[in-house]
Chain A
Amino acid sequence: MDKKTGVYICTGCGIGESLDIESLSKVATKESKVPVCKTHSFYCGAEGAAQIKSDIENEGVNTVVIAACSSRVNYDVFEYGPSILLERTNLREQITWCHPANDEDTQMMAEDSLRMSLAKAKHIQLPESFVGENMVKTILVVGGGLSGITAALESAKAGYKSVLVEKSPVLGGWMNSLYKQAPFKAPYDVPEEVDIEERIKELEAHPDVTVYVGAEIKEIAGAPGMFDVTISQDGKTITERIGSVVLATGAVPYDATKLENLGYGKYENVITGQKMEELAKKGKIVRPDGKEVQSIAFIQCAGSRDPQHLPYCSTECCVESLKQATYLKEQNPEAAVYVFYKDIRTPGQYERLYKRVQKDGGIFVRGEISVITEDDEKNLIIQAIDVLTGATITTEGVDMVVLATGMVPTTALGESMVVQADPAEGTKKEETPAVEEILRSNLLNLAYRQGPEMPTLKYGFADSHFICFPYETRRTGIYAAGSVRMPMDAVSSIEDATGAAMKAIQCTELSANGSAVHPRVGDLSFPDFAMSRCTQCKRCTVECPFGAINEDDKFNPLPNPTRCRRCGICMGACPERIISFKNYAVPMIGNMIKAIEVPDEDEEKPRIVIFACENDAYPALDMAGINHLKYNAWVRVIPVRCLGSMNIVWIADTMSQGIDGVLLLGCKHGDDYQCHFIQGSELAETRLAKVAETLNRLDLDSDRVRMEQISITDYDKIPAILDGFAARLEELGPNPYKGF
């Protein structure tokens, strides 16, 4: 596209009073020779906005640079559709609102800022969206329990074909084993008839649902919108073209035989909750020796909340035991019911079920079981330790003990594998980022470079790390639902599966339009690989947090645009700089750096480049401005999609230009990371370690490059961070390469 650039400098909100607008305009007109450069005191007002629109419509301006407020505001006013390139120069929040008016350094800051915008505008191109061949919107659901049935049925009800694959010969999963289900509705204290049969019938009757039972996923190859799934059923191989995937393989009960002290396997009258359901289903709850159960003890947290077994709470067990207590009470109101617990966890309206069992005479004992033994009549004697006093409590023989065993997600089962990073020859070990562990759980069998299953979080759950985005996974287009994601009850599983179906549907729609999925929905750009210069170093395939890039047998990267989240981490990783987006590229940032004017040493005006994560650090800088916090005018801010997209060549570019320091502002990393691209900010830090060495070799102190973790609400810390860094640079003195 032949660009015609228009620069529009707003003088409102104090910008005009603070800056020499005429000099600023000359940056556009004289230095950059842009054909159109105008000013107005109120560009977001009707008249100002109309001026820009008119230039687009009548003057052929197709590249618009608006030097005014932050791109976070007035986004709707300054929106010109997909055929216009738009760049916003942030004069207001990040310059005039936090620097002194009519000051030489503030002016220089504004001029550099415009220069950087113009360099960017010159480089960027309109993205052309990726459209794959034979893209479909069919949803694959793996697992045919309550969650899987729900996901498949809810997708179909919204008009999307779904394919459900279940390993066992029947649908229904865990729900099939229940006598009754925990209450879904008011008055919440009466267990309800299990309704899984009706759900199965509805699913099977739906014309848009294909069900494979007794079937397994042999392989999932491809990418969202165009997954090729191989299913094996009864020795036959079936293939399905799939748009996106819901993983709903559920959880299994914790293996009770590991709970030796609780007597499971040793005493026949110590049973699991699952067995209790079976007994209740048969009718009268009796022991194997035919004795009617007159007394029963439920042992909560049998394996859960126990560092030796499952450290987490399995969430559902308290409610399940209370429900089972009602089974016995219904048959035999005189029966004695004991519940040994740590905390009774009945959130929300389940409290009413708890109250009911209390009213029915259930005896609740807060204690930890030390041992369970059996007397001559096969009754069980429970010894518990009072949590606080340490005193031992011993029960008389009870007829039966029910262990409330917890949930283990199916993704936690299987041999552990570490996907080898395979660093290329010559690179050192510490430069390789942390690799993730994947378990061969034989659920998805992804044909992915980064391993066959979903990377899981702690305890093996395929959960999201994000509170705000609970369906976020590290495999684009694959969403986990139900108890494979986190421990949950039946009602939550239904909601969860419906939500996951929503995300899966959305992914197929966005992929078909060539758009990225969360968190960059609407972004039509995708990375382009200049393969002729690739050295097969594997850096991109290893570092992509989403497993988007495969490899051929010669280690060439094979990108999958619909798996890509457009964070640019591959671009940052590539030592040959062969990866670029139409509107975001290594040379684009390089040109922005080059656009900064670096004063001579004797002027004593240091320069600092800040690479700021656009999700958190950039808004934090804006917030500092909105609050009129003051900081030095040496800094020049370059927003980046993610700090992980930082290519170390930018540091070389900066240093060789005589700029005194580089500050990276990115999201918190570590266990509670906040980076929306998982590892971006951590990878940036890893790369910095490498830079330090090079800098020292060049007689540039490695302190010239610093990384700070910052969240959006840390804006009050901005002045200290920025000025602290400037002070350190002053100690170091000017960049010795200045003026070269």
Chain B
Amino acid sequence: MAFKSILVVGGGISGVTAAVEASEAGNEVYLVEKESYLGGKVTQINQYFPKLCPPNCGLEINFKRIKQNPLIRVFTLSEIESIEGQEGDFTVTVKSNPRYVNQNCTACGKCAEVCPVERPNDFNYGVDKTGAIYKAHEFAFPMKYVIDDKVCLGAECGKCVSVCEYDAIELDMTPKSFKVNVGSIVWATGWDPYDATKVDYYGFGQYPNVITNVMMERLAASNGPTGGKIVRPSDGKEVKSIAFVQCAGSRDENHLTYCSGVCCMASLKQSTYVKSQYPDAKVSMFYIDVRAMGKHEEFYLKVQDDINMIKGKVGEITEDPLTHDLTIQVENQLTGENMKEKVDMVVLATGMVPATARTKIPFETTYDEDGFIASDSQKPGIYGAGCVKKPLDVASSVKDSTAAALKAIQSTVRR
């Protein structure tokens, strides 16, 4: 007899969706997430296009769905070690890494106040710092602190342990592995931003005022490292001119051959972040094609008048080492003119790399040459969902993972 339960790997918007959708039809679900919180990449996004609404709104509803549903069991800080078996009867080994903070944590925050260590805040792409014990972000779910064991000084420091009134900190926690039996698996581990340092002629990593689109989300977020103020990283100055450089790595045979699908809309959206703070700022967008699909066209039409749209792929970005101002070189494809444009700041619209390009499913699976799970050769019982299949925006990821939930249910009832 087939196992009725379903394993969902990845707790971003795709995984959360697959889990709640399957469970609300009556299936038991294990949801496994490697980070200390659910929500994944969308928790780092300031606003969604085209409504310019906050992702935390929909996440709040999804978390509420999880909270009231006893059929979902969430494992954060956990990874899949191995998968054995077949559709209807998989045995999966899950490794839970230690949080070093137990259920007693009330998120009161006293521990963080006494922690003597600092670490770069990965949630904000290293723009600011947290303690070794920290709350991942303000809307973290579950709302519990976590310790970064790579930097924690351990028991010999122990300041957090002594200040905690609830015996919530256990510095001697160890990783634990356990097995679950499931009928099917949804793999929804999402995506990584393409490594912008590989596009070395754009100067990311060398020039402080060249940032990526994902960093821009944190800069614009009111709970981000700058309190939502978009400023130049080099000197904290207001932004008078900014350039969005599209296809920074995408649609490029030397980097990502495919189009990442969402970056055009993301940059158009980010231009509204800039314009709402600096109505007089000069915003330029350098693009090959603007891909505002379907009804998104309306958003493109609405914001393009505020932006200087230039068709052309940026060749190189250089920096004035004194002022850290940037100069963009581009051939305007419409005029044929070689342009140089000086700006305060550059946002690279880096693309999406499937997480499966880096970490494969520990089970025989076919991928395309870019590491996306191949659509036609999925093993029965294991289903990719969201950006591990192709570059997708949020609504499309949700749609795809709702579909994956049904495929997973089918695997538990197949006769």
Which A residues form the contact surface with B (CB < 8 A)? Answer: 12-14, 42, 44-45, 69, 73, 75-76, 154, 157-159, 184-188, 305, 311-315, 343-352, 355, 366, 386-389, 457-459, 461, 463-464, 466-471, 486-488, 491-492, 495-496, 498-503, 505-506, 509-510, 518-519, 521-522, 615-616, 619, 623, 626-627, 667-668, 672, 674, 676, 711-713, 716
Contacts and interface: CB of A to CB of B under 8 A. Distances in A.
Contact of A502 (B165, B259, B372, B403): B403
B308 interface: no
A502 B20 CA distance: 11
Interface string B306-323: 000001000000000000
Contacts of B222: 713, 716
23 contacts: A42-B104, A186-B374, A311-B297, A311-B298, A312-B297, A313-B296, A343-B289, A347-B259, A352-B257, A366-B334, A389-B335, A468-B58, A468-B394, A488-B294, A502-B405, A509-B25, A519-B64, A519-B65, A521-B24, A521-B65, A521-B69, A672-B50, A676-B61
B402 A502 contact: yes
Interface in B377-415: 390-391, 394-396, 398-403, 405-407, 409-410, 413-414
Given A159-B413, A185-B375, A351-B257, A713 B56 contact: yes
B67 interface: yes
B295 A712 contact: no
Nearest to A498: B403
B398 A469 contact: yes
Contact of B406 (A313, A491, A499): A499
B409 A158 contact: yes
Contact of B402 (A69, A186, A503, A711): A503
Contact of B293 (A315, A457, A463, A467): A315
Given A343-B289, A615-B57, A13 B402 contact: no
Interface string B271-309: 000000000000000000111111111100100000000
Contacts of B405: 499, 502
B258 A348 contact: yes
B259 A486 contact: no
Given A14-B108, A315-B293, A713-B222, A467 B53 contact: yes
B294 A352 contact: no
Nearest to B253: A355
A345 B295 contact: no
A496 B52 contact: no
A73 B143 contact: yes
A459 B297 contact: no
A12 B105 CA distance: 11
B390 A348 contact: yes
Contacts of A502: 21-22, 25, 402-403, 405-406, 409
A386 B251 CA distance: 24
Given A186-B369, A519-B64, A667-B57, 20 more contacts: A12-B166, A158-B406, A311-B301, A461-B295, A467-B48, A467-B53, A467-B398, A468-B57, A468-B395, A470-B395, A487-B295, A488-B294, A498-B402, A499-B405, A505-B406, A521-B68, A521-B69, A615-B57, A674-B57, A713-B56
B223 interface: yes
A185 B389 CA distance: 11
Nearest 6 Cβ contacts at the A-B interface: A468-B58, A499-B402, A498-B403, A343-B289, A502-B406, A388-B334
Most buried by B among A76, A348, A716: A348
Most chain A beta-carbon contacts within 10 A, residue among B24, B62, B223, B370: B24
Select the residue from A44, A345, A389, A505 with max chain B CB neighbours within 10 A: A345
B409 to A, nearest CB: 5
A190 to B, nearest CB: 13
A503 B409 CA distance: 12
A44 B297 contact: no
B396 A492 contact: yes
B263 to A, nearest CB: 10
B176 interface: no
A717 to B, nearest CB: 9
B406 A351 contact: no
Contacts of A386: 334
Contact of A184 (B57, B67, B375): B375
A486 B297 contact: no
B60 interface: yes
Contacts of A75: 67-68
Nearest to A41: B165
B215 interface: no
Contacts of B116: none
Contacts of B65: 518-519, 521
B56 A712 contact: yes
Contacts of A712: 54, 56-57, 60, 139
Contacts of B22: 502
Interface of B: 13, 21-22, 24-26, 48, 50-62, 64-65, 67-69, 104, 106-108, 138-139, 143, 165-166, 221-223, 251, 257-261, 289-298, 301, 311, 334-335, 368-370, 372, 374-376, 390-391, 394-396, 398-403, 405-407, 409-410, 413-414
A713 B56 CA distance: 7
A351 B251 contact: yes
Given A349-B390, A713-B56, A154 B398 contact: no
A389 B335 CA distance: 7
A345 B251 CA distance: 12
Nearest to B221: A713
Contact of B289 (A186, A344, A626): A344
B24 A467 contact: no
Nearest to B63: A72
B296 A387 contact: no
B145 to A, nearest CB: 13
B248 to A, nearest CB: 15
A498 B400 CA distance: 8
A619 B57 CA distance: 9
A2 B16 CA distance: 40
Contacts of A498: 402-403, 406-407
A154 B375 contact: no
Q: Which of B26, B261, B294, B414 is most buried by chain A, counting CB atoms within 10 A of its CB?
A: B294
A522 B402 contact: no
Contacts of B396: 470, 492
B51 A76 contact: no
A355 B414 CA distance: 41
Contact of B69 (A73, A186, A366, A522): A522
A27 to B, nearest CB: 24
B402 A313 contact: no
Contacts of B21: 502-503, 506
A505 B261 CA distance: 30
Given A347-B391, A496-B399, A157 B410 contact: yes
B61 A388 contact: no
A713 B223 contact: yes
Contacts of A506: 21, 24-25
Contacts of A157: 410, 414
Contacts of B390: 348-349
Contact of A13 (B24, B54, B108, B296): B108
Contacts of B58: 466-469
A9 to B, nearest CB: 15
B43 to A, nearest CB: 11
Given A73-B143, A345-B291, A495 B399 contact: yes
A313 B293 contact: yes
Nearest to B297: A313
Contacts of B335: 388-389
A126 to B, nearest CB: 16
Given A157-B410, A158-B413, A505 B25 contact: yes
Contacts of B401: 499
B395 A467 contact: yes
B399 A616 contact: no
Contacts of B369: 186-187
A492 B396 CA distance: 9
Contacts of B376: 184-185
